[in-house]
Structure 1
């Protein structure tokens, strides 16, 4: 079976975008190019991204007014759409994109199990950095993870679970699909490599979790694919 050059190009461009993650605009632009390319072969991917942006926006809108489901917080990250930063809306799409690529060839039951976990692990990396940079602030909470309420991660799990319920039940097979764990793990790793001293421990934990779940999913996907070929 020949390697799909379109998917390979999408993979490489996404990896380059993550390596250049220090430039937010470059990261988002290259992620969009990667998304467009892979959507030539996989229409389900663009659907996942669009659904994630819509659902994420709706829950962010609910969150900034009620504190449900993430907890009480305020943004300082213009420009906004109805109070929600545009880059946060794009973030829901891009983070879903990176997470979904890891499991896109899995049966739906595995997607529903692992997608929310993959998303929460990404937020374990992103949220501490963005809070430290002042892009949003959290109200004090009884139970926190380095200044971030645990309710935030429970909210991310819930919203991501809702998104995963919309996924297609169709199972695919691609020789390249196991390689999409690379950008997922690399995304968390880049945060560790550029971490401020006070963020090193939470980002190292997040990166370790990303590496662990990537290995588990790599082994699981090889097992699933061996039954399909």
Structure 2
């Protein structure tokens, strides 16, 4: 098993190929008559993306572990407060589309927070600018990604907003939580050199842009 992992890590083209294939066929599948089958595989796709991201991480360290745990817990707790008390993001509910839940929140949702924020950080943090500017820019980009995600998420029944209206509070909440997470990443000096993170970020953006174009608009 270890030899297989070593071989995979030395060939990032394999991970990149898997990511491209899953997101490409994910778009086609959701736009096809087999839409429901592909939607049901969303949690699997997020899990696979996470595994590939970690597999092709150049450096493993305690700061990577702390960053993941912090992001997962902050993201999950924020979602829990939103679903159960209407705090931070507003009034919304998760159906069972994204898999097993705890307290009304899909277990996979913390993984999703890490995927997005890590990939955005890997793009922005290497820039030679002030760290405060990096954190602010990463936060803005993350909120813009959520702007793409929200209409598609509602259409695919990932989560449901009260009165089917996405509140401004949601985007403010995303900004606050993202700012908190990126600040922690900077504090622990999260190792961001990753062989697939930028491709994964691009695939996520293209995925939601495509579904907004062909499914929503």
Is the 2:71–2:181 contact (alpha carbons within 8 Å) kept by the matching residues of 1? yes
1:88 matched to 2:105:
no
1:100 matched to 2:121:
yes
- Give 3-state SS (helix, strand or coil) of 2:93's partner: strand
C-alpha deviations, 1:117-165, integer Å up to 9, x for none?
1221221222211211122211138xxxxx3212111111111111122
Residues 8-27 of structure 1 correspond to what in structure 2 (within 5 A)?
A: 9=11, 13=15, 16-21=18-23, 22=26, 23-24=41-42, 25-27=44-46
Instruction: Identify the residue that residue 82 of structure 2 maps to in structure 1.
Output: 63
Is the 1:15–1:183 contact (alpha carbons within 8 Å) kept by the matching residues of 2? no
Unaligned segments of structure 1, at least 5 residues: 142-146, 201-229
1:199 matched to 2:216:
yes
**How much has 1:17 moved relative to structure 2?**
1.8
Q: Root-mean-square deviation (CA), in Å?
A: 3.3
Instruction: Identify the residue that residue 209 of structure 1 maps to in structure 2.
Output: none
C-alpha deviations, 1:155-191, integer Å up to 9, x for none?
11111111122123559897x89x9544323321122
Identify the match of residue 179 of structure 2 among 155, 161, 167: 161
Instruction: Identify the residue that residue 131 of structure 1 maps to in structure 2.
Output: 154
**How much has 1:10 moved relative to structure 2?**
5.3
- TM-score normalised to structure 2 length: 0.70
1:119 matched to 2:142:
yes
Unaligned segments of structure 2, at least 5 residues: 1-6, 27-40
- State the number of aligned residues: 189
d(CA) in 2 for partners of 1:33 and 1:194? 23
Cα 1:163–1:43, aligned 2, differ >3 Å: closer, same or farther?
A: same
Most deviating of 43-52 and 66-75: 43-52
Residues 205-220 of structure 1 correspond to what in structure 2 (within 5 A)?
A: none
Is the 2:93–2:161 contact (alpha carbons within 8 Å) kept by the matching residues of 1? yes
Cα 1:137–1:38, aligned 2, differ >3 Å: closer, same or farther?
A: same
Cα 1:11–1:110, aligned 2, differ >3 Å: closer, same or farther?
A: farther
d(CA) in 2 for partners of 1:15 and 1:122? 23
d(CA) in 1 for partners of 2:148 and 2:198? 16
